[in-house]
Amino acid sequence: MSAVEDRLAELGLSVPEVAKPVAVYVPAVRTGNLVMTSGQLPMRSGELITTGKVGGEVSEEEAVACAQQCGLNAIAAVKALVGDLDQVKRVVKVVAFIASTPDFTGQPQVANGVSELLGKAFGEAGVHARSAVGVPVLPLNAPVEVEITVEV
């Protein structure tokens, strides 16, 4: 087990199996020393943990948990490609898409769910640039989708 996985275990978390893509794409690709994940949904055991719009059917707290699950799924996609998470030198960029009602403006707080997870898992190497974007709808009616880019 990697040091990253040890830190996740201390939080009561583990790296899940790689989520099966919902269309024709791969969970992650590597080019040179960068690994980019496809958008990861808040899937757990093959199902979305919740559906709907943040600010509507989904509370901000539920959305933060969704962002964290998306982050775990992104970590799983990276691990499946590189084998050992200790090969990650730095989390470079995180993009979080939040399906939200028109009046919801807390996208940055929702994205903190993944950012805080990556900071705890990777330490200083988990500090990253980030975008948090409100969108009208996401695949399968997911409230959150996250993609990450890491340097290995």
Helix, strand, coil percentages for the chain (3-state, nearest 5)? 40, 25, 35
pTM: 0.96
- Tens digits of per-residue pLDDT, 110-143? 999 999 999 999 999 999 999 999 999 999 999 9
pLDDT of 4 > 90? The answer is yes
Copy the structure tokens of residue 47.
């199902």
* pLDDT the model gives residue 21: 86
**What pLDDT was estimated at residue 20?**
81
Domains of the chain: 3-151 (3.30.1330.40)
The pLDDT tens digits for 40-63 are 999 999 999 999 999 999 999 999
Q: Which H or E run contains 134?
A: strand 129-135
pLDDT per residue as tens digits for the range 88-99: 999 999 999 999
Q: Do residues 53 and 134 touch, judged by C-beta distance below 8 A?
A: no
Nearest-angstrom CA–CA distance, 137 and 139: 7
DSSP-derived pairing of the beta strands 129-135 and 90-99: parallel
